[in-house]
Amino acid sequence: MTAGVPTRFLVHEDGFVPKERYVSREFFDLEMERLWSRVWQVVGREEEIPKVGDYLEYAIGDQSILVVRVSPEVVKGYSNACLHRGTRLADGFGCFADGTMRCRFHGWQYALDGRLVGVPDAEEFSLPEGLCLPEVRLERWGGFLFVNLDPEAEPLVDFLDPLPALLAPYRFDELRFRSYRTTVLPANWKVVVDAFNEAYHVQGTHSQILPWTDDVAIQYEQLGKHSHYGRLANARSMLRPSPRVGMRDEDVDEGEILAALVAGLGGAFLAEERALVDELRAADVPPGTLLERYQERRMELLRSRGFDVSGLEPDQMTSADDVYWFPNMVGPVYPGSAILFRMRPDGIDPDHTIKDTWVLEWPRPGDDWEMPERRFYPDWRDKDWGLITNQDYENMAHVQIGMKTHGFRGLRLNPRQESNILHMHRVIDEYLTS
């Protein structure tokens, strides 16, 4: 036992990861008690609750937190339970339009700042003065709202360090939701996180993209509690297929690779960017210079549309920074857009995960932005997520089922390409044992 945690659950010194961490109820309970109760976790973004009285509910395990805009500047988090008999005060998202939160059961009322302000037949109670909904810590960064159930937790910026500095040029506070989709996947929440925190599986799962994706020249870095992966500096200026496909240099069609790369970038000006690729391809630029030219032109395009790209390097125009925000958000960040996956256990079920897909974008200057509809797919098969994501989702049930078989004892991770996954487990162990 280490600080009350059975040793058989802990990551071995040599990096072996016991499977109990993904499949056992006891380990799941430890995570609820020592991890989820103490980490900063993202509940949503400012633009979801723009008006005073707007709220959203955040559920983690069996805990429910109510996040409310109390004034134009102030957002607070509350324990989402009526002080009378515990009824959950609100679910999903919405607005307390008249400025009071009223319990559906017996009608107790709370001001937006959490004070109990109305009790039917109050004279029949002898309630203490000044009752308030218990507050949950809430802090903000880059337009994101985070909560932490631990009153003693470090400030959010210390927890996130060094991500705020790394991501500053992407100006997250100016991003807005373009789409918001949620589904449920049949695997432990970490299986889902892991699937987006390494590129080692590209050759095994997404081999169709190897002709235009160099899956090998990738660097994995652990950053505080978090991690990052992305193209190696020298690979950021080259259009190469995977060395695994064994293509001869003279057979490489840089234009084709660039077109495929740009198709995957997303963002507000995809049509213009495609046209740019066509133009450069037609211009027949000298070999080895196409990517650089495109990067410059893309930067000009964004600048001419009123976007501030001053903090970004040209090679960031075509390379994602894939960031893992411990413990449960991961995804690629591009100039002007980001795709973020947020994972949570589905209630207290170790075998299912609620996964949100958030596509964020800088709105076109001058456009009226509106919050898109949040769509929920209770079964991931109800929607076509695109070939690559479908392939990832398809794997998940197989991982969860396979891990449970008696002959399997634990994960043997690739020390380089899966180092971010191992790092996550080591950070989890720090929480479990401290």
Provide the binding-site residues for Fe ion, judged by CB under 5 A: 392
Q: Note whether 87 binds ligand FES by CB under 6 A.
A: yes
Question: Which 5-64 positions form the footprint of ligand FES (CB under 6 A)?
Answer: none
Dihedral in degrees, nearest 10, Cα atoms 415, 421, 426, 428:
-170
- Where in 107-166 is the site for ligand FES (CB under 6 A)? 107-108
* Residue 287 burial (C-beta neighbours within 10 Å; 0-12, 13-18, 19+): exposed
Angle, CA 176 vertex, CA 174 and CA 180 arms, to 5°: 155
Q: Does 90 bind ligand FES (CB under 6 A)?
A: no
What is the closest distance, in whole angstroms, from the C-beta atom of residue 53 to ligand FES in the complex? 19
Tell me how far apart the alpha carbons of residues 80 and 102 are, in angstroms, rounded to a whole number.
12
User: 114 or 267, CB closer to ligand FES?
Assistant: 114
Work out what residue 82 binds among Fe ion, ligand FES, none; the CB cut-off runs from 5 to 8 Å by kind: ligand FES
Choose one: 56-64, 104-112, 352-360, 405-413; the region binding ligand FES (CB under 6 A). Answer: 104-112
Question: Cα(80)–Cα(133) distance, rounded to whole angstroms?
Answer: 8
Report how far residue 188's alpha carbon sits from residue 201's, in angstroms, rounded to the nearest whole number.
18
Give the residue among 102, 54, 94, 96 at the shortest CA–CA distance from 74: 54
| Beta strand spans in 92-151 (E) | 93-95, 100-102, 109-111, 116-118, 135-141, 144-148
> For ligand FES, which residue of 11, 103, 218, 290 counts as binding (CB under 6 A)?
103
Q: Which is nearer to Fe ion, 69 or 355 (CB)?
A: 355
Kind and range of the H or E run holding 351: strand 349-361
Least Å from the CB of residue 423 to Fe ion: 19
Output 302 or 323, the one with its CB closest to Fe ion: 323
Edge-to-edge strands, sheet with 135-141: 41-45, 144-148, 135-141, 75-79, 63-69, 54-60, 93-95
Minimum CB distance to ligand FES, residue 105 (Å): 4
The answer to whether 409 contacts ligand FES (rule: CB under 6 A) is no
Q: How far is the CB of 81 from ligand FES (least distance, A)?
A: 8
> Which residues have C-beta within 8 Å of that of residue 21, sequence separation ≥ 6?
9, 11, 27, 190, 425, 428
Query: Of 307, 310, 311, whose CA–CA distance to 337 is shortest?
Result: 307
**Cα–Cα distance for residue pair 417/220, rounded to 1 Å:** 7
**Site size for ligand FES (CB under 6 A):** 9
CB of 87 to ligand FES, least distance (A): 4
Q: Is 88 in the site for ligand FES (CB under 6 A)?
A: no
Task: Rule CB under 6 A: say whether 85 interacts with ligand FES.
Answer: yes
Q: Which is nearer to ligand FES, 106 or 383 (CB)?
A: 106
Is the Cα dihedral 266, 269, 273, 274 positive or negative? positive
Which listed range, 77-85, 152-160, 166-174, 267-275, lies at the site for ligand FES (CB under 6 A)?
Answer: 77-85
Q: Which of the stretches 14-22, 101-109, 302-310, 396-404 binds ligand FES when contact is defined by CB under 6 A?
A: 101-109
Query: Smaller CB distance to Fe ion: residue 70 or 261?
Result: 261
Q: CB nearer to ligand FES: give 105 or 369.
A: 105
Task: Tell me whether residue 17 or residue 68 sits nearer to ligand FES (CB atom).
Answer: 68
d(CA 140, CA 149): 15
Q: Tell how far CA 188 is from the center of its chain.
A: 16
Among 5, 15, 47, 84, binds ligand FES (CB under 6 A): 84
What span, in angstroms and rounded, lies between the C-alpha atoms of 159 and 153? 9
- The stretch among 106-114, 226-234, 314-322, 411-419 that binds ligand FES (CB under 6 A) is 106-114
Give the nearest distance from C-beta 356 to ligand FES in angstroms.
29
- Nearer to Fe ion by Cβ, of 54 and 215: the residue is 215
Nearer to ligand FES, 103 or 160 (CB): 103
DSSP string, 234-296: GGGG-----GGG---GGG--HHHHHHHHHHTT-STTHHHHHHHHHHHHHHTPPTT-HHHHHHH
**Which chain residues interact with ligand FES by CB under 6 A?**
82, 84-85, 87, 103, 105-108
